[in-house]
Structure 1
Amino acid sequence: MTKVILGCLAAVALGACSNSFDEPLLTDGPQQIGFQADLGACRALAEQHTEKTVQSGAVQGAVIGGIIGVADSKDGDRVDDALVGAVIGSGIGALEGASEADEARREILIRCMQGRGHKVLA
């Protein structure tokens, strides 16, 4: 069981490393004066608004995974099955939360840059 839990945690850690939020923005024309400073400020703003999305996804996934683990227990070892389900569920929930947070950060970043007068397309 320990190997399963460690494997799940490793998969979550690797999945959390991908982040399209750090990809360059597609702009229309040359960068205006102050683009890099505005980009840094807008990234910080976007990060503040999405910190809890990953955490809440992991918690929800752990609860749902634990419930499924208990309900799906066939060998009578409900505690171990619940733990494995909670670990797998939290991993999946964290990955989903990270994906949702990444999309939200990107949208906030683009709108912030556009609000500061930069021609950002995506």
Structure 2
Amino acid sequence: MRHLRIPAALLPVALAACGAGADYTPIVDGTRGATFEHDLAACRALAREQDQLNQEAIAAAVLGAGVGAMVGGLDDSLTVEEAALGGLVIVGGSALADGTEKREEIVTECMRGRGHRVVG
């Protein structure tokens, strides 16, 4: 019987993703004003409040695992568990990436709202 060791290998990646996007530093046009660092810290804190592992991300990951399990049942080169894990990682990773982008958008819009000329 083969043992599946992939989840332990993915733990550091999942933990690193928890803060992803909230540490984003936007590009500003011109010089940074006196309040830039203070505003950036406040906007990053606001972005961290955005939950990356929300119900939508969890549902997407579960759906990915289900699809992966179905594919694994049709493919003799993978076990159902390996295929399910692959689906979970691919779809769940995509959902985490979406959360990261959302956090970056929050930082960008927050900084614009505070009067900084953010271009990206």
- Give the alignment's TM-score, normalised by structure 1: 0.71
Rounded Cα–Cα distance in structure 2 between residues aligned with 1:50 and 1:82: 30
Rounded Cα–Cα distance in structure 2 between residues aligned with 1:57 and 1:29: 41
2:35 alignment counterpart: 34
Structure 1 residue 12: deviation in Å?
Answer: 6.8
Matching of residues 84-95 of structure 1 within 5 Å: 84-95=82-93
Q: 1:35 to 1:45 in 2, by over 3 A?
A: same
Between 1:109-118 and 1:95-104, the stretch displaced more is: 95-104
Rounded Cα–Cα distance in structure 2 between residues aligned with 1:47 and 1:60: 26
Structure 1 residue 89: deviation in Å?
Answer: 1.2
- CA RMSD across the alignment: 2.9
Structure 1 residue 16: deviation in Å?
Answer: 6.7
1:100 corresponds, among 98, 101, 116, to 98
Query: What is the number of equivalent residue pairs in this alignment?
Result: 115
Q: Runs ≥4 in structure 1, deviation > 4 angstroms? A: 18-21
Between 1:11-20 and 1:56-65, the stretch displaced more is: 11-20
The answer to whether the 8 Å contact 1:16/1:98 transfers is: no
Q: 1:69 to 1:90 in 2, by over 3 A?
A: same
The SS at the match of 2:50 is helix
Structure 1 residue 113: deviation in Å?
Answer: 0.7
- Give the alignment's TM-score, normalised by structure 2: 0.72
Rounded Cα–Cα distance in structure 2 between residues aligned with 1:46 and 1:89: 28
Rounded Cα–Cα distance in structure 2 between residues aligned with 1:115 and 1:28: 15
1:60 alignment counterpart: 63
Unaligned runs of 5+ in 1: none
Between 1:94-103 and 1:55-64, the stretch displaced more is: 55-64
Q: Does 1:10 align with 2:13?
A: no
Structure 1 residue 15: deviation in Å?
Answer: 7.4
Q: Higher helix proportion, which one?
A: 1
The answer to whether the 8 Å contact 2:25/2:40 transfers is: no
Unaligned runs of 5+ in 2: none
